[in-house]
Amino acid sequence: MNQRTCLSVILAAGEGTRMKSALPKVLHQIAGLPMVAHVVKAAEAAGASGVALVIGHGADEMRKTAAKFAPEAETFVQEKRLGTAHAVIAARAAISKGYDDVLVMFGDTPLIDAQALATARRKLAEGAAVAVIGFRPPNPAGYGRLIEQAGRLVAIREEKDCSEAEKKIGFCNAGMMAVAGAHALKLLDAVGNKNAKGEYYLTDIVEIAGAQGLDVVATEASFENALGINNRAELAQAEAIWQQRRRHEAMLSGVTLIAPETVYFSHDTEIGADTIVEPNVWFGPGVMVASGAKIHAFSHIEGATIASNCNVGPFARLRPGADLRNKAKVGNFCEVKQAVIEEGAKVNHLTYIGDARVGAGANIGAGTITCNYDGYSKFFTDIGEGAFIGSNSSLVAPVTIGNGGYIASGSVITETVPDDALAFGRARQKTIPGKGKELRERFASAAAAKKKAAGADH
């Protein structure tokens, strides 16, 4: 089967009115990725070399988004919504290229597994003309039933047309199917619209193929694989299932999740073995964590690279461009953005490091900030190896602190500090005996007078 070519036709033209959103339904995200992109990834993992997206509502936005996750995909607009077969035939130009297999999928089923698609393709390789993917929902009410005889699928019966015996069938239509490319257009063109809605139903090709003496079979996927998304409640349900799968996968690959149900991954999170993740950690898109790291509770990480044996959090925020090298530490209530924290460097408490390099072994004291933005442009701060930045210091970029430089606490640094130099950047302290008591008495008297005046007004 590996040598067979495959086209995935993904139907993504639905308006999704039940989502109550201006955004096309299939662009709503699961794990930081549009749900239609999950479908594309599953198709590609099942061996699809071509992707045809059938779009409608929000076509321009769909094309723009698709260019990011499926740059080679062809897009076809379904001008009028006249049924599922009508939608598939909108991709006629792609289907006619002569692929061995055609997978028909829906853009709102983000949990579909590549294995379920591969199983359907395997049936085509074994000689079937059509392989329909079915599933067994907890309650089959409302679903079309798959009617089988002697191991062959003879019909997909909508519930309203089912006999009492057929209504008891628990094997239902998931909507997705694989069709042999040699028969696809002929079968689709034979679908009529003589029904109550006057629409062209994809499910009709089952009986059409059977009438032509072609082999039609059903394969089975899990209920989760077939879950379609129509509203935000179902979107949240799908997110929960995806996260549960990913957590399980991470733990089996050697990652310790102390409270798995509280950790959230993105679609592209990479996390190495022997990493420990404490409760309530959120991984946004673009995060790579090497082995042996420790991510403490309540940390928020996106677009960041974390090397082996790093220590992050608790309550740390790593923003895009944060690059922590081996054994670096970013502690509680620290934020790092577009900055390299080199090997063994420590950013321990209440600190902001942005557009910067912190050299190997450097220590950044509590309350330190890099002042990287003047309201118009960003500027770079370079902190050398082994430097010590005292607490509550402000480093006004662009500025360089040399290797081994020492910044006194409370300093505002605006000029280059040479290697091994000590820099002060603060006003000299002045102490006036008794002045504190005088100020308290003055402030107390003023407050009392204000209160008395307010009472007189009433």
Superfamily of domain 6-220: Spore Coat Polysaccharide Biosynthesis Protein SpsA; Chain A (3.90.550.10)
Question: Using an 8 Å Cβ cutoff, are 89 and 13 in contact?
Answer: no
| The pairing of beta strand 311-312 with beta strand 369-371 | unpaired
Q: Is 232-423 a CATH 1.20.120.1200 domain?
A: no
Q: For the chain, percent helix, then strand, then coil, each to nearest 5? A: 25, 30, 45
Give the residue from 65, 56, 119 showing the smallest Cα distance to 84. 56
Buried b (16+ CB within 10 A) or exposed e, 120-132: bbbbbbeebbbbb
Question: Using an 8 Å Cβ cutoff, are 384 and 419 in contact?
Answer: yes
Every domain of the chain and the residues it spans: 6-220, 232-423
Question: Using an 8 Å Cβ cutoff, are 442 and 430 in contact?
Answer: no
Residue 458 bears catalytic tag: no
Whole-prediction pTM: 0.88
Question: Using an 8 Å Cβ cutoff, are 49 and 4 in contact?
Answer: no
Alpha carbons 123 and 180: distance in angstroms, whole number: 10
Give the residue from 203, 43, 54 showing the smallest Cα distance to 112. 43
pLDDT tens, residue order, the chain (458 aa): 458 999 999 999 877 788 899 889 999 999 999 999 999 999 999 999 999 999 987 888 989 999 999 999 999 999 888 899 999 999 999 999 999 999 999 999 999 999 999 999 999 999 999 999 999 999 988 899 999 998 899 999 888 888 889 999 999 999 999 999 999 999 999 999 888 788 899 999 999 999 999 999 999 999 999 999 999 999 999 999 999 999 999 999 999 999 999 999 999 999 999 999 999 999 999 999 999 999 999 999 999 999 999 999 999 999 999 999 999 999 999 999 999 999 999 999 999 999 999 999 999 999 999 999 999 999 999 999 999 999 999 999 999 999 999 999 999 999 999 999 999 998 888 889 999 899 999 999 999 999 988 877 76
Alpha carbons 255 and 263: distance in angstroms, whole number: 12
Alpha carbons 357 and 361: distance in angstroms, whole number: 12
Alpha carbons 114 and 41: distance in angstroms, whole number: 8
Selected catalytic residue, list 183, 248, 267, 349:
349
Would you say the CATH fold of 232-423 matches that of 6-220? no
Residue 211 has which token pair? 């009438």
Greatest Cα-to-Cα distance within the chain, rounded to the nearest angstrom:
105
The number of residues making up the chain comes to 458
